[in-house]
Amino acid sequence: MPIRPPFPSSIRLLQLLAIAIAAGSLSVACAQTVPQQASPAATVPAPGTDRSAQIDDELWDTIKDAERAKVFEEYIKQYPNGRNVGQAEKRLAGFRKSGQSPASGPSVAAPASAAGNDPETALWRVVFQSDNAAGYELFLKYYPNGKYALHATSRLKIARENAKWQAESVETGAWQAAENAQTADAYAAYLDSYPQGRYAALARVQRDKLAASAAASEEGRLWQAAENGGIAQVDAYLASYPKGRHASAAESRRERLKKEEADMSPGRLIRDCPACPEMVVIPPGIFQMGEDDAKPVHTVSIGRPFAMAKTEVTQSQWRAVMATDPSKLARCDNCPVEGVNWNDAKAYVAKLSRMTGKLYRLPSEAEWEYACRAGGRHEYCGSDALDSVAWHGALIGSGNSGGRPHPVGQKQANAFGLHDMSGNVAEWVEDCYHARYNGGPVDGSAWITSEGGSATIQAQATDAGAKGKAKVGSAKTPVAQASAPDKDECKNRVLRGGSWLSWPQHTRSVYRLSLPPESSGSSYGFRPVWSLR
């Protein structure tokens, strides 16, 4: 960092003052002849000439931004009829108003021998006010044997020592800042300012050491993500480190993941990472969605395969991603996570997607029912015998749940290899709740707007019953608030499958429950999906 003079262009100021004094254009007193031995060779302009006015203007341009009142006082004193005296008086008045007197600041009183109005004394007063090495050097240039020469020489030595000390102090501060930061960038910043500084060699060593360490750490971080993630993470590693320490292993993992992705036969099990849910490949197909009061029954075409979690997300799987456990009842690693609301489920799939590079999401309501039915028309997901596929019935006391959720995967799977689609915990899906399917999507996408929009199509809801309430009490009627959300706002989301609490009719394949997305309870969970191609 360069050492700044007391105010901008102080050397230029002193040069102009010296020229002006020697030229006799500052005051009547200055019209005296400058001693021959110190007189600079110059053509002296007569007072009032254009050159005199130019000197005045250049002098003012040099000192007008000074921050010391004494500078303007000296200007007025030495140049009482100058072209810029009015502006100088305004600056001086401003300093006085702010409490700064001409004598204030770091300047010292001129020695008694400085009394007089000769050119040497006039220059000495200005030099003494500036009190820097450049000023004393300029004075000695003009008056090497002058009456103030000894004093100027002494002050010049002190000023040089102070300037050196100040420069070293600033450099030391910059070095200390780099040491405290302990980053490659901080040492580089020091070297930018002091490429030949006292600590430059050490700064280069520290910068290079930290840069190498940061590069190794970043490579390790990217490799860890690639090792536990998907193709996107492997590609990110190879793009940054094509010849890195793990490049060979990354290429091998990429080939294996590509092969696995290409071989997505129905029923195949996939697991992206040790803590990830095990996924089952679900084939594309066509089915009839809805039944009875879940109307109207309509044809839905699932045009692409997708993968769905084999079981509900477990507590250990949740903790591995979210580092918390919101479960309210049974505490066991293999029990379904519960006590989660729709927003929690969305946060989980978003974070899991970032970890693996796969686009995990909640299933649409159509995908969920298609996976539940698994090509059949059973009353429950995978069977007409409820106890074989579901934990249920705590509310009526005659079910099999014993008043709590159970470890996943203990009940019979359906034809797609999915467990606990009925019972255990009710499962959040992506869709906004609509009381009826009129105007809903028929391609398996989620119905995510209140006016009948979906992820892939826009259709207009026409059923007025969407704003009413469903009847409660019949064996095949959903117990749900059927209020439709306002435009572009989902007031309620959908849960499917029923839970360990549920009556048998609430675990049916077609049963739908609607709740606000912030609702959480010990019977609410979820399972994720992701699209394959």
Higher pLDDT: 99 or 427? It is 427
Tell me the per-residue pLDDT of 394-412, one tens digit each, with 9 for 90 and over: 888 889 999 999 999 999 9
Q: Which amino acid, one-letter code, is at 291? A: E
Higher pLDDT: 45 or 188? It is 188
Mean pLDDT of the chain: 80
Highest mean pLDDT among 107-121, 136-150, 299-313, 455-469: 299-313
pLDDT for residue 194? 92
Element containing residue 530 per DSSP (H, E): strand 529-531
pLDDT for residue 195? 93
pLDDT for residue 308? 97
Tell me the per-residue pLDDT of 373-396, one tens digit each, with 9 for 90 and over: 999 999 999 999 999 999 999 888
Q: Rounded to an integer, what distance in angstroms lies between the CA atom of residue 387 and that of residue 278?
A: 24
Average pLDDT on 54-65 reads: 69
Confidence of residue 59 (pLDDT cuts 50, 70, 90): low
pLDDT for residue 54? 66
Tell me the per-residue pLDDT of 260-288, one tens digit each, with 9 for 90 and over: 777 777 888 989 888 899 999 999 999 99
pLDDT for residue 49? 53
Q: Rounded to an integer, what distance in angstroms lies between the CA atom of residue 427 and that of residue 497?
A: 6
How distant, in Å, are the alpha carbons of 9, 386, 409, 420 from that of 423? Answer: 84, 9, 12, 6
Average pLDDT on 93-120 reads: 62
Least confident of 26-30, 187-191, 503-507: 26-30
Least confident of 12-21, 27-36, 195-204: 27-36
**CA 366 to the chain's CA centroid:** 37
pLDDT for residue 55? 61
Tell me the two tokens of residue 307. Answer: 């993968």
Q: Residues 426, 503: contact at Cβ < 8 Å?
A: no
- Beta strands (DSSP E) in 354-509 are 426-432, 493-496
Q: 164: which DSSP letter?
A: H
Q: Rounded to an integer, what distance in angstroms lies between the CA atom of residue 244 and that of residue 460?
A: 54
pLDDT for residue 408? 97
Tell me the per-residue pLDDT of 124-148, one tens digit each, with 9 for 90 and over: 888 888 788 888 888 899 899 999 9
Average pLDDT on 9-37 reads: 41
pLDDT of residue 88 exceeding 80, the answer is yes
Tell me the two tokens of residue 260. Answer: 């696995």
pLDDT for residue 161? 87
Higher pLDDT: 449 or 409? It is 409
Provide the pairing of β-strand 269-270 with 285-291: unpaired
The secondary structure of 188-249 as a DSSP string is HHHHHH-TTSTTHHHHHHHHHHHHHHHHHHHHHHHHHHHHHS-HHHHHHHHHH-TTSTTHHH
pLDDT for residue 52? 60
Average pLDDT on 183-210 reads: 92
* 161 Cβ neighbours under 8 A, 6+ residues apart: none
* 376 Cβ neighbours under 8 A, 6+ residues apart: 382, 414, 415
- Is 439 in a helix, a strand, or coil? coil
Tell me the per-residue pLDDT of 326-374, one tens digit each, with 9 for 90 and over: 998 878 999 999 999 999 999 999 999 998 888 899 999 999 999 999 9
Q: Rounded to an integer, what distance in angstroms lies between the CA atom of residue 183 and that of residue 273?
A: 34
pLDDT of residue 228 exceeding 90, the answer is no
Average pLDDT on 236-265 reads: 87
Confidence of residue 164 (pLDDT cuts 50, 70, 90): confident
pLDDT for residue 414? 97
For the chain, what's the residue count?
533
Tell me the two tokens of residue 262. Answer: 């290409």
Average pLDDT on 90-110 reads: 67
Q: Residues 408, 424: contact at Cβ < 8 Å?
A: yes
In terms of Cβ atoms closer than 10 Å to its own Cβ (0-12, 13-18, 19+), residue 246 is buried
Confidence of residue 95 (pLDDT cuts 50, 70, 90): confident
Higher pLDDT: 361 or 532? It is 361
In terms of Cβ atoms closer than 10 Å to its own Cβ (0-12, 13-18, 19+), residue 484 is buried
Q: Rounded to an integer, what distance in angstroms lies between the CA atom of residue 322 and that of residue 340?
A: 12
Element containing residue 294 per DSSP (H, E): strand 294-302
Q: 447: which DSSP letter?
A: -
Rounded-to-5 percentages of helix, strand, coil across the chain: 40, 10, 50
Q: Which amino acid, one-letter code, is at 59? A: L
Q: Rounded to an integer, what distance in angstroms lies between the CA atom of residue 121 and that of residue 175?
A: 43
Tell me the two tokens of residue 365. Answer: 């309501």
pLDDT for residue 12? 47
Average pLDDT on 147-155 reads: 90
Tell me the per-residue pLDDT of 454-497, one tens digit each, with 9 for 90 and over: 443 322 222 222 223 322 222 232 322 223 333 446 899 999 99
pLDDT of residue 93 exceeding 80, the answer is yes
pLDDT for residue 484? 36
pLDDT for residue 405? 95
**Among 41, 43, 100, residue whose Cα is nearest residue 70:** 100
Give the burial string for 71-101 (b: 16+ CB within 10 Å, else e): bbbbbbebbeebebbeebeebbeebeeeebe
pLDDT of residue 42 exceeding 90, the answer is no
